[in-house]
A and B are shown apart, each in its own frame.
Chain A
């Protein structure tokens, strides 16, 4: 094929953008639906928690409401991590690589802190997943949430690496947007878990 012909084929028809990296992109839609189906996943766990609570014969939770001594600060840490990420995201939207990197790093550290504190909290619990149904629920729900935090941290690592490689610009940073959406989602799930497992027993 002649060069001229090839060039004409490569021309953008109708001046449409090629694979834009915004909310029109299929990659963005994929993350939205990951979040939707994962929300349903946690919703069924929360349903199970309240179902067994409503069916409980004795006190619920059998061991009394879980302590807020570590969980409340940990909640604040996780919320702060979302704020840090938001700040970094806003940075790259204005083209600031530096703010993006700083925001991602701060988010990562706060996320790690959350997991460390959660494991300390685990070691202080005087019940295990095998003690009773409440123990099974507590550890499974918070455990799956923790696993989601770990996934979010992995995403963060990859995006950080790419940020250092200079992959992102004010116009093209879909990976940042997606990883951030996921991270905020994981935080939102924690709020629901925190209200259900830590606060709701105190209301009743």
Chain B
């Protein structure tokens, strides 16, 4: 019979089945969600540092009036790539990194629903990032701002390749985001451990699930807009050309139909991280689990109905502006529910002020500040005064750094011990947090004032005597203090790899399944398939829950790469899913796409056609049936049997 205890489980056999071979081939073909998750985290972090360097250069330029460290053209490229990098290549992929690494561990599975699609998602992310950054090599990085308003970005006003890199790069990246989202959705509904019914899902997963649905509906808007922009620029079409029946507002509508949901795409999973971490350090379950889930879903839905608040100053009819102003304010109710739940959790718990908790506490404060300035700009008359000023820059940084970067750093302190098996330093961690927190507020709070004093965003320099000098100097100093905090974190991380204390399975005494396996987890995640009976499986004894989860005894599923497929709501086991082996197809498919996009960029049609041909061959090879779907056991097991 296939029910065994974890001590009886033949772990060397499982390791053999699931481990990726070493060497170049193994590196390129691995589909292990943990490997992919780590790659996502590292790659996103590298982009974070690049975006940070761009910001540091801009802040040097703006530190005092009349500075001439760089040309206006260079400044345009820097602020555009800073935005593109942070929003597209860091904020969302870093969350995908956490989700990829953690989801199968959180739900007691052995991999994601589509392991090869997972690899494809990573490679495509990496290559679209390289594609976007290769623009610097030819000195023509995107320079029209991260939202690339036409007609400024049309060929007549931007004749270089700059905005072609932008349009094609974002279409390219959209493929990665979309296939990743589909993977998350299917994993959520199909791969949860037996018994993990929909009300027992770890809270953080709801953020990523909700945003994955948003991705599926929102990313095509950006893709369509970028296709139109590229067609206008390259083939002389007229989508945005008012003289020939087009309309520049079409770009703004399409961009923000994508752009505002995207804001929630980069914050809701981070909010989920907070909802997961705060209860651990308060030693009690999250207050109002159901309300937090519902408010997450409500936020994402409302996120599709607020895009026009980015366009209040474009002369829309008053009624339309009123509607979008109201809907934008309604979102703050949904956000307020989450904040109330965290405060209730802290209030009723016994908070332990470890580093991850500090980051979460800081995040709550920044969330409130960013939220309040958001409600301010949601009000039409106020927005008319301050749109395109530094006030908006301050607001969006409070939102994106406050609600994305702070939870992400907290989550790194929380989960890196699971990923590397080593603890980070608690003492250094406090330094990292306080340096980042003080630096951030010192740097970005004065931007509100600069905006109220009338400083427009995106200017490369300014005259003295306008009252902007001291706020800008303070902002630059604060930004550099923040950067020191980030550097300290890198020091802490590198130190921990060698000298960190071994983490053990569950260093935080946390409640969810990932802490029941070793740190780092084995390639097969769990020696036996767990059965879950509560939302906090590792806290059941303490909470005195009925019906206990079974983690040390369960199905082995050891005849090849296998995991349970379960029903969507109740998570009853329905089938055993044969999972694919490591595969080179994903990286080849991403390379084909890279060839295609470079072909389009340079009008080298032969290269574009070659890319498409390679794409077709790769897809056919990928989808051609192997023994995965055949009813007989996979070959490698048969082979192993023959050897025995």
Give me the interface of A with B, judged by CB distance under 8 Å.
Answer: 1-3, 6, 8-14, 16-21, 24, 26, 29-30, 33-34, 36-38, 40-41, 43-45, 47-48, 51-52, 55-58, 62, 129-137, 140, 154, 158, 162, 167, 172, 174-175
Partner of B246, one of A16, A129, A133: A133
Q: Which of these binds chain A: B123-131, B378-386, B629-637?
A: B629-637
Q: A6-B637, A19-B577, A30-B182 are in contact. Are A1 and B644 (CB under 8 A)?
A: yes
Is B235's beta carbon under 8 Å from chain A? yes
Question: Which residues in B have their C-beta under 8 angstroms from that of A140?
Answer: 227-228, 231, 237
Chain A residues near B181 (CB, 8 Å)? 33
A52 vs B3: C-alpha distance when bound (angstroms) = 63
**Chain A residue contacts of B556, Cβ below 8 A:** 9, 13
The 0/1 profile, CB within 8 Å of A marked 1, for residues 224-241 of chain B is: 110110011001111101
User: Is A3 in contact with B576, judged by CB distance below 8 angstroms?
Assistant: no
Q: Known contacts A30-B114, A56-B245, A133-B239; decide if A37 and B575 are in contact (CB<8 Å).
A: no
Of residues 349 through 408 on chain B, the ones whose CB sits less than 8 Å from some CB of chain A are none
Per the bound structure, the CA–CA distance linking A36 and B218 in Å amounts to: 11
User: Are the C-beta atoms of A24 and B575 separated by less than 8 Å?
Assistant: yes
Task: With A8-B1, A158-B620 given, name 6 new contacts (CB 8 A).
Answer: A1-B641, A9-B558, A10-B633, A14-B573, A26-B190, A26-B565
Instruction: Report B-chain residues with C-beta under 8 Å of the C-beta of A167.
Output: 625
Q: Does B616 lie at the interface of the complex (its beta carbon under 8 Å from any beta carbon of A)?
A: yes
A to B CB contacts below 8 Å, 21 in the list: A9-B10, A12-B576, A13-B2, A16-B564, A18-B575, A24-B574, A26-B577, A29-B190, A30-B117, A36-B216, A44-B225, A48-B254, A51-B247, A52-B247, A58-B245, A129-B236, A129-B237, A130-B238, A133-B244, A140-B228, A140-B231
B364 CB to closest chain A CB (Å) equals: 34
Give the distance in Å from the alpha carbon of A164 to the alpha carbon of B620 in the complex: 16
Q: Are B575 and A136 in contact (CB under 8 A)?
A: no
Asked if B237 contacts A2 (CB within 8 A), the reply is: no
Number of interface residues of B (CB under 8 A): 69
- Is B623 an interface residue, CB under 8 A from the partner? yes
- Assuming the contacts A13-B555, A48-B228, asked whether A26 and B186 have C-beta atoms less than 8 A apart, the reply is yes
Given contacts A9-B559, A12-B576, A51-B250, contact A1 B235 (CB under 8 A): no
Provide the residues of chain A in CB contact with B185, threshold 8 Å.
29, 33
State which residues 536-594 of B face A: CB under 8 Å.
555-559, 562, 564-565, 573-578
Chain B, 233-282, CB within 8 A of any chain A CB: 235-239, 241, 244-247, 249-250, 253-254, 257
Question: SS class of chain A's interface: helix, strand, loop or mixed?
Answer: helix
User: Separation in Å of the A71 CB from the closest CB of chain B?
Assistant: 22
**Are B216 and A33 in contact, with the CB atoms below 8 A?**
yes
Distance in Å from the Cβ of B179 to the closest Cβ of chain A? Answer: 9
> Taking CB as reference atom, which chain A residue is nearest B625?
A167
From A1, A19, A133, residue with most partner B Cβ within 10 Å: A133
B223 (CB) vs chain A CBs: closest residue: A41
How far apart sit A39 and B460, CA to CA, in the bound complex (Å)?
A: 42
- Given A37-B220, A44-B254, check contact A136 B574 (CB 8 Å): no
B644 — nearest CB in chain A belongs to which residue? A1
> Does A1 contact B10, Cβ atoms closer than 8 Å?
yes
B574 touches A16 (CB 8 A): yes
Separation of A58 and B556 alpha carbons in the complex (Å): 70
State the CA gap A3–B223 with chains docked (Å).
54
B113 at the interface (CB under 8 A from A): yes
Is B628 among interface residues, defined by CB-CB distance under 8 A? yes
Chain B minimum-CB-distance residue to A57: B245
| Most B Cβ at <10 Å: residue of A12, A18, A38 | A18
Contact partners of B559 in chain A: CB under 8 A: 6, 9-11
Asked if B178 lies at the interface with its beta carbon under 8 angstroms from chain A, I say: yes
Residues of chain B contacted by A37 (CB below 8 angstroms): 178, 182, 216-217, 219-220
- Cβ A30 vs Cβ B186 within 8 A: yes
- Complex alpha-carbon distance, A154 and B190, angstroms: 29
| B223 smallest CB distance to A (angstroms) | 6
By a CB distance below 8 angstroms, the chain B residues around A174 are: 629
